[in-house]
Structure 1
Amino acid sequence: MRKCVVTVVGKDTVGIIGRVCTYLAENKVNILDISQTIVQDYFNMMMIVDVTKIEKDFSVMGKELETLGEEIGVKINIQREEIFEKMHRL
C-alpha cells in the first residue's frame, strides 16, 4: 500500500467534497480516512488515501488536483505519506 495525504483548504462552497472524491474515485484512489471541518466559512479537509492502483504518474495527478482546486476555489495538495511525516516532525 502506498499512502498519501491530501489536503483541501479554502472558502466553503457547495460541492467541494463531491468534486474531490469524484476525481479520486475516477483515478482509482481509495480514501482510507477523511476529516473535514468548517470554521467561519473556511473549509479544511484532510484525507489519507491509497494510491497503489493509480495508472498515471503521481506528478500528473498532483497537477490535476491543483487545477481542480483552482476551478472550485480551494487549494488542493497531495503528498506522499513519508514526505508529509518528515515535514511535520518536531
Structure 2
Amino acid sequence: MSKAVVTVVGKDKPGIIAGVSKTLAEHNINILDVSQTIMGDIFTMSMLVSLEELEGQFNALQDDLNTLGESLGVTIHTQREEIFDAMSKV
C-alpha cells in the first residue's frame, strides 16, 4: 500500500483539522491514523494517509496542502512513507 506522512505545525486556530481533512478528501485520500496535540498555543498534527486512491499527481496534492497551509498560517509537509522512512534511518 502506498502511504504518505502529513505533518502540520503552527499557531493553533479553528479550522486546521477541517481544512487538511477537506483537502485530503478532495484528492480521494483516506486518513489511516492521526495524532494531534496543542503545546501552549502551538498546534501539531501528524497523519498517515493512504495514496491508493489518489486522484491526480502527488505533486498537486503537495501544492494544494502548501497553499492551504499558507492560508491558515501553518506549515504542512507531505512526504511519501518510503522517503520518510529513509530519512529517519539516517
- Bin of the TM-score, shorter chain as denominator length: over 0.9
Instruction: State the number of aligned residues.
Output: 90
| Code of the aligned partner of 2:20 | V
* Distance (Å, rounded) in 1 between the aligned partners of 2:26 and 2:66: 16
The TM-score with structure 2 as length reference comes to: 0.96
* Distance (Å, rounded) in 1 between the aligned partners of 2:75 and 2:56: 21
Which string of whole-angstrom CA distances, capped at 9 and with x for unpartnered residues, describes residues 15-61 of structure 1? 10011001111211000000000001000000000011112110111
Instruction: Kindly report which structure 2 residues correspond to 1:1-90, keeping only aligned pairs within 5 A, or say none.
Output: 1-89=1-89
Unaligned 5+ segments in structure 1 are none
* Distance (Å, rounded) in 2 between the aligned partners of 1:55 and 1:20: 16
Secondary structure of the corresponding residue to residue 52 of structure 1: coil
Secondary structure of the corresponding residue to residue 14 of structure 2: coil
Unaligned 5+ segments in structure 2 are none
Q: Percent identity?
A: 52
